[in-house]
Structure 1
Amino acid sequence: MNKILRSLLLIATTLSIIESGTALAADKLETAATKFVESNGIKFSYRILGPQSGTPLVLLQHFTGNMDAWDPAVVNALAKNRPVVVFNNRGVGATNGVVADNIAQMTTDAYAFIQALGYKQVDVLGFSMGGFVAQELAAQHPELVRKVILAGTTHQGGGNHLMKVLGEAFSRANAPDPRDYLFFSQSEAGKQAAAAFLSRVYARKEGRDPESGKEIADAHGKALIVWTSTPDPEFKTLKAIQQPVLVVTGSNDTMLPTEGSITLYKQLKNAQLLLYPDSNHGSIFQYHDSFVNTAEFFLSH
C-alpha cells in the first residue's frame, strides 16, 4: 500500500510540475528527439529543449551548419531556464525544399518556422550567417523579436574572408574537421578548446542530421558573400533594430572580421559588446561557460 501511495504522490507531483510549466524535464541536445512542423510548403526539422515557461530562444545557424553543429555545452546550458529551439532552415539537414541562396529567403523561412510553432514573442541567437538572419528578423518583426544575440557575425556590407579562410582550412594536411581552424585561435589554448568542442559536437550518435554537401555550400556561400558585399552605408537595417542586442566576437575573427562586430555595437541603438581574447570565429564555443553566463544575464534582465 505504501508503494502505491508513493507512486500516486510521484505522479501527482509530476503532473503539477508539468501543468505549472516550470520544470519540465528536458533532453540534452545530444539526445533530444527531432520533430517536424510544416509551414509554407516546407517541413522544418527542429529540436526543443528546456522548460515550457519563459521566452523561447531560437538559434539561427552558420554557413552549411545543421542542428548537430551546435555546441551542446552552449545549448544545454542556455536551456536550463528557458525553452531553446534549434532548427534546420530550408533544404538543410532533414528539412525539405531547395536551399535558399539569399538572406531574404532565409529570413522569410525562419519567420514562417517560428510562426508555425505558435510563438508570439521570441529571443534569437544568430551565429555567423545566422546573425544576418537575426538582424533582418529583428528589423522586420519587432513585435516578434524581444532580444537579440549576435555572435561571430557582421553587418550588411561588412565584408568577409570566407573563400580565403576556407581554402586555408581545407589545405592543411591531416585536418579531420576544418572548424578547429575556422572557429578557434591557433594558440595552445585555442587548440585545446577546439579539440574539446569537436568532441562535444560529435557526441550525438543516433539520429544525427545528414552532413551538408556542395549544393548547400554553394547556396549558403552565395548568400553570405552577397549580403556582406552589398553596401548599406546608412545602416538602415541596424537603425531599424530597437531591441536590446548583445554582440559577441573573438579578438581575431578571420572569417567575418572583428571590426564588423564593433560596427554593430556602435550603430545599434541599444547594444552591448563582448570581446573575447585569443579567439577566432567561434569564441562562444571556446569560452562557452562565460558566454552562457553573460547571455543568461542579458536575456533575464
Structure 2
Amino acid sequence: MYKLKNIISQALIFNSLFALGITEATAAGANVGLATVANQTVEANGIKFSFRSFGKKTGTPIVFLQHFTGTMDYWDPAVIDGLAKSHQVIVFNNTGMGHTTGKVADSIDQMTKDANAFINALGYKQVDLVGFSMGGFIAQELAAAHPDKIRKLVLVGTSNKGGGDHLLKVLGEAFAQANIDPRQYLFFTQTANSQAAAKEFIARSSTRKDRDPEISKEDMNSHAKALITWANTPDPEFSLLKSIKQPVLVVQGSNDTMLDTANSIAMYQNLTNAQLVLYPDSGHGSLFQYPADFVSKVANFLN
C-alpha cells in the first residue's frame, strides 16, 4: 500500500506535467468555447466561485463536476463544446480551486455542500450533472440530497462509495512513469490506439492561454483526503445508490484500473433507473478517448 504522503508529493509532479506544452488559445474571432469564453464569478456563502458558461440557452443546463486536483482547464473542449451545441454548459472551480476563493474542503460532504451553494447562486431551479471521477462522488451525493434540483446525472469513470480498493496503488504507479503526462497512464490504456487518443486529448485540453492556477501542495492534501476517505468508506448495501431515483447514465472504459470498471457495472445494477455505456480499449477517461460518441450519447440521454 502506497502511503498518502508519497501520493501527495508525487501528485505535484502530476500537475506540473499537466501545465507543460500549453499553446496559444484559439485565434481571435473563433466561436466561443471552453478555451476562449470569459471567466465569470458568482458569490455564495462568502465564497466567490469562478465559472464559465456558454451554449444553447434553452432546456436544462449541465453542471460539470471535475476530477481530483483538476480545474476548469482539465476538461476536454471536444466534450464541453460539443455538448454546448445542444445545452447550456457550466464548468466551475469548487471552493479554493483555481480562482475560486476559500479553503479547499477535505471531505466530499463539504465539496457537495459547496457545489450546491454554487448551483443555488446561479438561480437555476433544476440542473443536470456530469460528474467525472471524484466529481462523480459529488454528483451522487447531490442527486441523493436534492432530488428536486438534480434532474438527470451522468457518472463517468467513477465509483460507488467504498469502491476505491486500488486507488492509491494505481496513482502511485502513474506518478512513477517517466517522461509522460500521468493522464496517459491513468485515463487511457497502453495500446497504440488509446495512447494516440491520449496525446490528442492532452493537446486539446492545453489550448487556453489564461489558464487557472494549479493546485497547491496543501490543497492537494485536502483533495486527496476527501478522495481517499469517500472511496474507502464502506457502503455494502449500496444505500447511496439506491437512494438516487433520477435517471442516470453510467459511462466507463473497458479497463479502468484506478476505479474498477466492475464498480460501474455494480452501480448500474444498484441504481433504480440507470443505463450503462462501456467503451472498448479504454480506461478511466473514456469520455476523452471517444468525445464525439460520448457527446452524442449524453445529449440523447439528457434530451
Matched with 2:189 is: 185
Contact 1:26 1:49 survives alignment (8 Å)? no
CA deviations over 1:251-296 (Å, ceiling 9, x no partner): 1101111111111100000000000111110001001111111101
| Amino acid corresponding to residue 49 of structure 1 in structure 2 | F
Aligned partner of residue 197 in structure 2, secondary structure: helix
| Amino acid corresponding to residue 293 of structure 1 in structure 2 | S
1:64-83 paired onto structure 2 within 5 Å: 64-83=69-88
CA deviations over 1:149-168 (Å, ceiling 9, x no partner): 00000011112433222222
Aligned partner of residue 277 in structure 2, secondary structure: strand
1:90 counterpart = 2:95:
yes
Aligned partner of residue 253 in structure 1, secondary structure: coil
Matched with 1:236 is: 239
Deviation at 1:133, TM superposition (A): 0.4
Q: Normalization by structure 1: what TM-score?
A: 0.89
CA deviations over 1:225-253 (Å, ceiling 9, x no partner): 11111111222211111100000001110
Contact 2:98 2:213 survives alignment (8 Å)? yes
Which has the larger Rg? 1
| Amino acid corresponding to residue 299 of structure 1 in structure 2 | L
> d(CA) in 1 for partners of 2:266 and 2:224?
23
> d(CA) in 2 for partners of 1:46 and 1:160?
33
> d(CA) in 1 for partners of 2:98 and 2:165?
25
Deviation at 1:26, TM superposition (A): 6.6
Matched with 2:299 is: 296
Q: Which runs of structure 1 show a deviation greater than 6 angstroms over 4 or more consecutive aligned residues?
A: none
Matched with 2:147 is: 142
Q: Normalization by structure 2: what TM-score?
A: 0.88
Matched with 2:290 is: 287
Question: Unaligned regions of 5+ residues in structure 2, if any?
Answer: 1-29
Matched with 1:201 is: 205
Aligned partner of residue 139 in structure 1, secondary structure: helix
Contact 1:26 1:51 survives alignment (8 Å)? no
**C-alpha distance 232-257 of structure 1, shift in aligned 2 (>3 A):** same
Matched with 1:112 is: 117
CA deviations over 1:184-224 (Å, ceiling 9, x no partner): 1110001100000000000111x210112322321111111
Q: How much identity, in percent, do the aligned residues show?
A: 62
Contact 1:102 1:223 survives alignment (8 Å)? yes
Matched with 2:27 is: none
Contact 1:29 1:72 survives alignment (8 Å)? yes
> d(CA) in 2 for partners of 1:106 and 1:47?
19
Aligned partner of residue 42 in structure 2, secondary structure: strand
| Amino acid corresponding to residue 162 of structure 1 in structure 2 | L
1:2-151 paired onto structure 2 within 5 Å: 27-151=32-156
Aligned partner of residue 116 in structure 1, secondary structure: helix
Deviation at 1:111, TM superposition (A): 0.4
Matched with 1:220 is: 223
Aligned partner of residue 53 in structure 2, secondary structure: strand
Contact 2:164 2:258 survives alignment (8 Å)? no
Aligned partner of residue 249 in structure 1, secondary structure: strand
> d(CA) in 1 for partners of 2:217 and 2:184?
20
| Amino acid corresponding to residue 201 of structure 2 in structure 1 | F
1:170 counterpart = 2:175:
yes
